Amino acid sequence: MQHCRAPSSKHCHRLAPGCKPFVSRPRLTCKAAAPSDLSSPPGLKAEPWRGTPDQVQALEALRRRMESKGQNVDESTLQWYLRDRYFDVEEADQKLSKMLHFRKAFPSERITRESVAREYASGKAYVHSATDKYGRPAIVIRTKLHAVGDYPIDDSKRLCIHLIDGAVAQAVAGGGEQIVGIFDLRGFEVPRNADFAFAAFMVEAFFEYYPRRVAQVLLVDAPWVFQPAWAVIKPLMRKYAALVRFVSTEELRREFFTPGTLPPDFK
């Protein structure tokens, strides 16, 4: 399919039949914001929904595609996948369809606190009760408490989904859209905590099934033994590796939380 550069807002013309709009996509970067600049949080952001005629047209086109597949998808989800894919209907369709297929295997209504209670009780991960300075709920993962083989991997996947769903719901309830993942790497050991199969699932979940919901991933106090593990995980993340930042506990305290909102693990 040929690509045509989208017209400027001053000169709006219809695209020729069969012509796919050219969309300039910014390169993924993850820079630390200045301590005083809390209006522009670091990390990945979604394209804004402005309700323009082109966006509404894309929304209706995606809705029709989903309905033709027998999928009744709510409008906010349709909008979100369009925003993730820069309003490219075909790409949004592909990514949304992949997520819906994933949800057939892991339906959210069946993943409750009770269904993940045993592994949740290990304390390996939780959704922090307070948001960071940018208003983002945080999932804290205590990597030293996740030992390879302690639990069936599908159980660990369900716990991961439960936590992400909870954090996203908390964000939306507070008027936000995104969350942050905080991996506490203190005490990380190889091979005990180096679960590459589960890490691959987390990467896929964060960036494919919950696109742009995880704005940033913070790796806290990574020991030198984590570097070989990171060398394996980083290529799996592809361009999204730019969203990962290695930080110290002090940087986490200073840049992302206040003394009253800091997760208890880092006080």
Q: What angle do CA 91, 93, 99 make, to 5 degrees?
A: 105
The yes-or-no verdict on residue 9 having pLDDT over 70 is no
Query: CA 250 to CA 267: how far, in whole Å?
Result: 10
Alpha helices by DSSP H, listed for 106-152, are 117-120
> Is the model's pLDDT at 37 over the cut of 70?
no
Task: Report the SS3 class of residue 156.
Answer: helix
Q: Identity (one letter) of the amino acid at 204?
A: E
CB-CB neighbours of 199 under 10 Å: 18
Please state, in angstroms and rounded to a whole number, the distance separating the CA atoms of residues 129 and 257. 12
Looking at the predicted structure, is the pLDDT value of residue 110 above 80? Answer: yes
Q: In angstroms, how far is the first alpha carbon of the chain from the final one? A: 55
Both structure tokens of 197: 């199969």
More confident residue, 123 or 10: 123
Can you say whether the dihedral through the CA atoms of 238, 239, 240, 245 is positive or negative? positive
Does residue 35 or residue 264 have the better pLDDT?
264
Residue closest to 82 by CA, chosen among 95, 100, 71, 65: 95
Q: Distance between CA atoms of 186 and 226, rounded to whole angstroms?
A: 10
Q: Which stretch of 12-21, 76-85, 224-233, 234-243 has the lowest confidence by average pLDDT?
A: 12-21
pLDDT band at 6 (very low <50, low <70, confident <90, very high): very low
pLDDT at residue 7 tops 60: no
Q: Whose CA is closest to 86, among 150, 15, 6, 17?
A: 6
Give the pLDDT score at 44: 81
Give the confidence band of 67 by pLDDT, cuts at 50, 70, 90: very high
Average pLDDT score over residue span 5-17:
42
pLDDT category at 58 given cuts 50, 70, 90 is: very high
Q: What is the mean pLDDT of residues 54-77?
A: 97
Query: What does R_g of the chain's alpha carbons equal in angstroms?
Result: 20
What pTM value is reported for the model? 0.86
Cα 264 off chain centre by:
23
19-23, 100-104, 119-123, 149-153: which range is least confident on average? 19-23
Higher-pLDDT residue of 44, 174: 174
Q: Residue 207 gets which letter from DSSP?
A: I
Average pLDDT of the chain, as a whole number: 89
Q: How far apart are CA 236 and CA 156, in angstroms?
A: 19
Model confidence band, residue 39 (pLDDT cutoffs 50, 70, 90): low
Residue 260: what are its φ and ψ, rounded to 5°?
Answer: -80, -15
Q: What percent of the chain has pLDDT over 70?
A: 85
